Amino acid sequence: MSRRAITVLTMLAAAAGGCAGRDLPMTTLAPKSDLAQWIYDLFVQVTMWDALILVIVVGAFVLALFFFSTRVGEAAPPKSAASDLGLEAAWTIGPALVVLMISIPTVRTVFRSQPRIPPANALTIRVVGHQWWWEFRFPDSGVVTANELHIPVGRPIRLELVSADVIHSFWVPQLGGKRDLVPGQVNELVFEARETGAFPGQCAEFCGDSHANMRFRVMVETPEQFAQWLDHQKAAPALADAITDPSAAEGARIFANSPCVTCHRIDGVSKGYIAPDLSHFGSRTTLAGAIMPNTPDNVARWIVDPQAEKPGALMPALGLQGRELENLVAYLESLK
């Protein structure tokens, strides 16, 4: 294959994989959990059967071309039989066997991915889908965060999936299959990550204007890193009077007196609950449904005009600018 062809193929693969290069690889072909591995194995198995069938069918077709075509000088086409019991039996039993070979491993994987009894040492996390962001609640520790799910490697994770509004679908290609978040219902997803790393996820069910902007990340950490992260998230952030950076301290006062408090919770400051919890906003790597890196410039851009970044976003533009905006951004970034 020429070098040019390889380049074109690579670009096509990148485009098919979700473009921009930012969160690649968003792939099901590099499984990093038990669940993802089962699904991958099933995919490979079915693909092998399909390939075998392709070879048999195309082979039979090519052979037929050579052996059964009418040649020059031949008087008449070969006589055709009205029915052939042997052939009919073959093309009835053959496909039935194919369906059986594909359905047995498929059904087995379906049941395997739906454990009735969660493993005893499973860590339960409640996942709430919102238009268009993700809320993650750790019931055992009371920790609440958004858009970045931290989990320990090598421990079963049991997700309770619920929705605050419409149907969403939780999907982290490298950690397992999609599962819907349905209003008024709790769905479960159990898996165990096998490798540490940050794995991109995406809502996989059309849920409104910014469905494509409903991304998230799963940070798989060592048990020690995870315990440290959880401890850190449990601690309340510093209040305005205790913040040393004057700009951030001023930002804390601006936040406490702004309409932000009606929707956003900051531990010890505000009790809003319909928008992402900001208690440790500065410790996240992304914002706004993981659509952009968490940098002061991006936070400012987001606050100035949320709809420009995420069409249909419920957060209103508050008309903050200049010093006020800078101070508020400094405060939010200080919430490590």
List residues binding ligand CUA (CB under 6 A).
129, 132, 168, 203, 205-207, 211, 214
Is residue 285 within 8 A of residue 333, CB to CB? The reply is no
* Neighbour tally for 48: CB within 10 Å: 11
Tell me how far, at minimum, the Cβ of 168 lies from ligand CUA, in Å: 3
| CA 214/CA 181 separation, integer angstroms | 13
Q: Is the separation of the CB atoms in 121 and 223 below 8 Å?
A: no
Write down the least CB distance from residue 27 to ligand CUA, Å: 20
Q: How far is the CB of 201 from ligand CUA (least distance, A)?
A: 11
Pick 151 or 203: Cβ nearer ligand CUA = 203
H runs (alpha helix) in the chain: 3-16, 34-67, 85-112, 223-234, 246-256, 260-263, 296-304, 306-309, 322-334
Q: How far is the CB of 161 from ligand CUA (least distance, A)?
A: 12
What dihedral angle (degrees, nearest 10) is formed by the CA atoms of 286, 224, 196, 292?
0
Shortest separation between residue 163's beta carbon and ligand CUA, angstroms:
8
CB of 144 to ligand CUA, least distance (A): 19
Rounded to the nearest 10 degrees, how much is the dihedral formed by the CA atoms of 276, 277, 278, 279?
A: -170
The residue (of 113 and 210) whose beta carbon lies closer to ligand CUA is: 210
Nearer to ligand CUA, 128 or 266 (CB): 128
- Of residues 312 and 316, the one with the C-beta less far from ligand CUA: 312
Q: How many CB atoms lie within 10 A of CB 320?
A: 18
User: Closer to ligand CUA at the Cβ: 167 or 300?
Assistant: 167
Least separation in angstroms between residue 169's CB and ligand CUA is 7
Q: Give the residue with the Cβ less far from ligand CUA, 127 or 266.
A: 127
Q: Name residue, tokens 């959990």.
A: 33
User: Whose Cβ is closer to ligand CUA: residue 211's or residue 284's?
Assistant: 211
Are the CB atoms for 125 and 69 separated by under 8 Å? no
Q: Which parts of 182-305 are beta strand (E)?
A: 187-191, 197-202, 215-221, 265-266, 270-271, 286-287, 292-293
